[in-house]
Amino acid sequence: MKLIILDRDGVINHDSDQFIKSPEEWKPIRGSLEAIARLNQWGYRVIVATNQSGVGRGLFDMDTLNAINEKMIKAVAQAGGRIDAVFCCTHTGADQCTCRKPEPGMIHEIAARYNVSLAGVPAVGDSLRDLLAAAAAGAQPMLVLTGKGLKTADDPALPIGTLIFPDLAAVAAHITT
């Protein structure tokens, strides 16, 4: 089985320092929906792994988070693609859980659910915590320069071997050619 793990905010949709708190605030990055469709056409299962501490902070509730994710799933479907699953950590940093990126727990949970080895599995993010979680889990970290990506690219803690792309469309093109 071919699997790819994507962060949500800053990779698929535009990010906000104030959090994406409603379906109306969720806006796709140009080319990201079509990139997911292309990955599906090449046989990839697309899994989203996202920290959503806005729930833990009380900025929005689970119903709202589900509505945001449903909007994303429908938008991807309208572009001819599919998201196979969405994994979310709703804890805050103070909770010190093992599923909140940069901890690899959420990525390990995906591997267990799909019964796959993470070796070589692309894990795409725009922040250092996405890439650290991927590397710690044994996946292939891929940085996109959308969202927080430009800032992240200059971080000296960037995992060795991280591949860097302008956006999700460039990742999809690289993987499927």
Tell me the H-state helices in 104-145: 105-114, 128-137
**Can you say whether the dihedral through the CA atoms of 35, 81, 54, 67 is positive or negative?**
positive
pLDDT > 70: what percent of the chain?
100
Given 7, 15, 126, 130, which residue is catalytic? 7
| Sequence-separated (6 or more) residues with CB below 8 Å from residue 177 | none
pLDDT tens, residue by residue, 52-80: 999 999 999 999 999 999 999 999 999 99
Average pLDDT score, the chain: 97
pLDDT tens, residue by residue, 96-144: 999 999 999 999 999 999 999 999 999 999 999 999 999 999 999 999 9
Please, which residues bridge with residue 177 across strands? none
Is 63 an annotated catalytic residue? Answer: no
pLDDT for the residue 93: 87
DSSP conformational letter for 86: E
What does the domain layout of the chain look like in residue ranges? 2-175
Tell me the pLDDT band of 177, cut-offs 50, 70 and 90: confident
DSSP conformational letter for 47: E
Q: CATH number for the 2-175 domain, one of 3.40.1080.10, 3.40.920.10, 3.40.50.1000, 3.30.70.3340?
A: 3.40.50.1000
Given 9, 126, 130, 167, which residue is catalytic? 9
Is 9 an annotated catalytic residue? Answer: yes
As a whole number of angstroms, the distance between CA 132 and CA 64 comes to 28
